[in-house]
Structure 1
């Protein structure tokens, strides 16, 4: 990447914070027993997995990721003569060697540039009733957020299929965090499913260890509604499902962290679905009681150690965590937001939704959010931010570690890339995740002052 310190602003991005569209192979192997097949140049799949799933919490590749992923590894021959035969051979071999419930063929830049008819090749296997679909995910289509929606739509249209039957009351499809790119997605989706089940829903969580895999995806078409729990990711999928199956959707832009936000979130979903409120309130009351008991224990530290705690914070990361953590820190800890920078390059048509949420962070707090992908520019903005007389706390990525040292502040890594955390099941959302986040924040601060 070009260093822009001594040159005019260019279109280069220093220290990139996302993958390309084929990086959505992570969304594929985040579904139990589903394996991607990549039709791309040598190294493309390896680079995506090493960055998004390894140097980002060291999450591993699971059943169908990492070194398991089949790839055509096309070279000059395929560029000149086309790579369809090579792809056909790889799909045949994958069915012989690998045990999967579904394969998802994903294309890189080269086959899309030279015009390989991937759909035609895949249809040969689909005509034999073999479980395989394809998604055109060349890098010029966008980043891995864009690729994620291409993959979900491909599975829905080519595998889940049509449906004209009744919708099941209380069954919900959840579209939320981007698997693997969000470092804590596994634990977060587990907590989201737990609290939704707690108030009475049957939940298709779709990704991660709590998903039933392809049987759950087959069940998508029967859901009463779709829940989009993110600032924008999943809206395109929900709109597609509304058109395809007549399913309504509920969009809640802020992923809940802490008792206040989580209880409010659950009540909104219960009201939307018109399920039993009494059961929901019993669960909410039980969770809040436990949450505030733990918070009461924490309050002794918070009250006595105030002189050593930061007052202002900055957040650098994708909009889902950026917005959720900002809301939590402002409303439940009383910290002062100094700079919020969203990094995943959300589509322009969704940016006003995100801006509006920041303007209404609290009754007396309205913020201006910035959208920026280049780390040099991001760091320059943070250096110029007024954090007051106390060292700041920065919620960001590995790219912000040196910056935090420079500002004599603390760093909590919350997104891609997170190279100083080993993440297995950690969650920062809901009732339980908020307590884990508090532990992380203040352990980091106390350790830095030692």
Structure 2
């Protein structure tokens, strides 16, 4: 992982980065089954993105079309001087011959975007032949991989899904939520989100991960009754685009639900918006809550006996989606006190006030001033100056916070990029089932730390 050292808060460098650049959204492409990105960039760009975002982040693996599979032009000085269009054309042609994919997504790095390669013209040659390929200009100066994600989704929608003025299918929803691969637990989380939405009677285009049907599901986006944006801000731009393109309304729910209280509230909001059968949804909610609280009752014996060894305050450092969701769960379900919350993915300014408002209503009697910071040097200084009371804190963060947790004699739960001490296959922390897994993780960590 990059580790650029800084000595003062005034430095323009960022120590221990917490996101990739825009081309890192190649992960959003190969998170769709049987989709393969083609990267038009300098040597090492694609490898650095995958080694950081999908390897040293839960060791997730690249799946069918990621990691070492990704074709790259690996352009050098020749392409900088004379342009890299012919090199890209050659690579695309070779990729169609060698690789079996339902869709290719060409993504650009800083060099071709700077020298002015007409990538759109090259890709359109293949599109005119009816080949399944799109492109997105994702040079690093466009932003980080969160910004690149929405560039990729819009490229697929506009260039592959296409126009549509037909009827909509009632009960069909497109879900825009966690950033694939960057969110360490995205696969399991999207599986749980799809499960609970189907449980209340919806048909779900989950779009990414093993529960997605791949490009056929993306082709079906245009037929959905509505779009669900389940995150503080990521996906809003895409939902607005779909509203303009297909006339689809969207429901924005900023807090990803964790635990019975938030999940049941979330599902009821969706039911009201979709106008589907409330009897079926309430039956499902009642069943899920019953199972959830039965497990929680078993857990209560530990919680009652071990209360003296549990932390009272926590700090949370991570992207806004998990940051907000976990903060609400930890406060409302476990009674922990939030001492510091720091959002790290550099969300666009226009969304920050709405994110701040969410932290003002964590609970009826709990309000929190969230902070936005990317630099780990500054983040760690803020945590060191935080008052955690007389008990050691628990820190929800990343691998970058492990040494800090030891310094503060606290416990660490890795909940985001980079997570180098987690091996993640299908783990989920959201919904009814994920909350139970989260409780197991939190208190196993606390007990182990006190041993």
Q: TM-score scaled by structure 1? A: 0.99
Q: Which residue of 2 aligns with 1:408?
A: 409
The equivalences for 1:290-309 within 5 A come to: 290-309=291-310
Q: Which residue of 2 aligns with 1:438?
A: 439
The equivalences for 1:28-427 within 5 A come to: 28-427=29-428
How far apart are the structure 2 equivalents of 1:169 and 1:2? 51
> 1:364 aligns to what SS in structure 2?
coil
Give the CA deviation at 1:2: 4.4
Measured against aligned partners, the alpha-carbon deviations of 1:296-353 in whole angstroms (never above 9, x if no partner) come to: 0000000000000000000000000000000000001000000000000000000011
Give the CA deviation at 1:133: 0.2
Give the CA deviation at 1:370: 0.1
How far apart are the structure 2 equivalents of 1:35 and 1:144? 17
Measured against aligned partners, the alpha-carbon deviations of 1:8-47 in whole angstroms (never above 9, x if no partner) come to: 6111100000000000000000000000000000000000
Q: Which residue of 2 aligns with 1:13?
A: 14
Q: Which residue of 2 aligns with 1:3?
A: 5
How far apart are the structure 1 equivalents of 2:126 and 2:148? 23
Structure 1 stretches of at least 4 aligned residues deviating more than 6 Å after TM superposition: none
How far apart are the structure 2 equivalents of 1:156 and 1:386? 48
> 1:310 aligns to what SS in structure 2?
coil
How far apart are the structure 2 equivalents of 1:119 and 1:219? 25
> 2:74 aligns to what SS in structure 1?
coil
Measured against aligned partners, the alpha-carbon deviations of 1:418-443 in whole angstroms (never above 9, x if no partner) come to: 00000000000000000000000000
How far apart are the structure 2 equivalents of 1:291 and 1:299? 12
> 1:344 aligns to what SS in structure 2?
coil
- Report if aligned partners of 2:4, 2:16 keep a CA contact under 8 Å in 1: no
Give the CA deviation at 1:3: 2.7
RMSD value over aligned CA atoms? 0.6
How far apart are the structure 2 equivalents of 1:176 and 1:79? 37
Measured against aligned partners, the alpha-carbon deviations of 1:28-77 in whole angstroms (never above 9, x if no partner) come to: 00000000000000000000000000000000000000100000000000
How far apart are the structure 2 equivalents of 1:340 and 1:293? 31
Give the CA deviation at 1:117: 0.1
Q: Which runs of 5+ in 2 are unaligned?
A: none
Residue correspondences, number: 449
How far apart are the structure 2 equivalents of 1:86 and 1:99? 21
- Report if aligned partners of 2:9, 2:378 keep a CA contact under 8 Å in 1: no
